[in-house]
Chains A and B, each alone.
Chain A
Amino acid sequence: DAGVIQSPRHEVTEMGQEVTLRCKPISGHNSLFWYRQTMMRGLELLIYFNNNVPIDDSGMPEDRFSAKMPNASFSTLKIQPSEPRDSAVYFCASSPRTGSNEQFFGPGTRLTVL
């Protein structure tokens, strides 16, 4: 298995632009998580899905952030409009949700908003 796949790996955009991050979870995993990592705050859970349904989006910072999971093999995290303080590394992780909750992480997308 290729593991969790994220694209793009790097994104540089200007303030006010729309940004879309993409994630393909490991096949067969039924939970998907979006995290944001910054030096100051570390890793923060933004939202997670179970069987394609959003379960907890309390970590989504503002209405500018939205996430979708139209099917079991694809999810997007969208920021519109983007702001410089959104600059961070965004990770996607998936989990089989059987027994222990081991999560498998993608390589992340490094977002820079100028």
Chain B
Amino acid sequence: KQEVTQIPAALSVPEGENLVLNCSFTDSAIYNLQWFRQDPGKGLTSLLLIQSSQREQTSGRLNASLDKSSGRSTLYIAASQPGDSATYLCAVEDWGRKLIWGLGTSLGVNP
């Protein structure tokens, strides 16, 4: 059974710092891996989607990597800003086309 773990559960950094969020999964047979952002009281916004054949994806200050063999993904945020404060969720899509979710990392960026 696929399990997704995110470490750390919470992180607080000063503005401007580069940071890395971690996601690990137990079964490497995935269709893709996705990173989402969730703001308090709101829905989820898709940030990056990495297909199983890809190694990384970039969007602006965000870069996500995927290493299927080791069951790991990282989300790198460059030059963090207070507006980046949110919960970041990692999800893997299995070949049944279902998303299995981590519990998220709550990020606070302090001005």
A54 within 8 A of B: no
Chain A interface SS verdict (over half): strand
Q: What is the interface residue range for chain A against chain B?
A: 10 to 19
A20 to B73, CA, bound (A): 37
Q: Which residues of chain A come closer than 8 Å to B32, judged between CB atoms?
A: 100-101
Q: For residue A100, which residue of chain B has the nearest CB?
A: B49
B103 within 8 A of A: yes
Q: Are A101 and B31 in contact (CB under 8 A)?
A: yes
Q: Choose one: B43, B51, B91, B102; the contact of A100 (CB below 8 Å).
A: B51
A44 to B3, CA, bound (A): 12
Q: Are B51 and A106 in contact (CB under 8 A)?
A: no
Known A-B contacts A91-B43, A101-B93, A105-B44; A45 and B49 likewise in contact (beta carbons under 8 Å): no
Q: Choose one: A56, A103, A107; the contact of B46 (CB below 8 Å).
A: A103
B18 within 8 A of A: no
A25 within 8 A of B: no
Q: Which residues of chain B come closer than 8 Å to A91, judged between CB atoms?
A: 43-44
Q: For residue A3, which residue of chain B has the nearest CB?
A: B43
B12 within 8 A of A: no
Known A-B contacts A56-B96, A100-B49; A105 and B43 likewise in contact (beta carbons under 8 Å): yes
A105 to B99, CA, bound (A): 13
Contact with A along B98-110 (1 / 0, CB 8 A): 1101111000000
Q: Give residues in A with beta carbon < 8 Å to B.
A: 4, 33, 42-45, 48, 56, 91, 93, 100-108
12 further contact pairs, Cβ within 8 A, besides A43-B89, A91-B43, A100-B49: A4-B43, A42-B101, A43-B101, A91-B44, A93-B44, A101-B31, A101-B32, A101-B93, A101-B99, A102-B34, A103-B46, A104-B46
Q: Give residues in B with beta carbon < 8 Å to A.
A: 31-32, 34, 41-46, 49, 51, 89, 91, 93, 96-99, 101-104
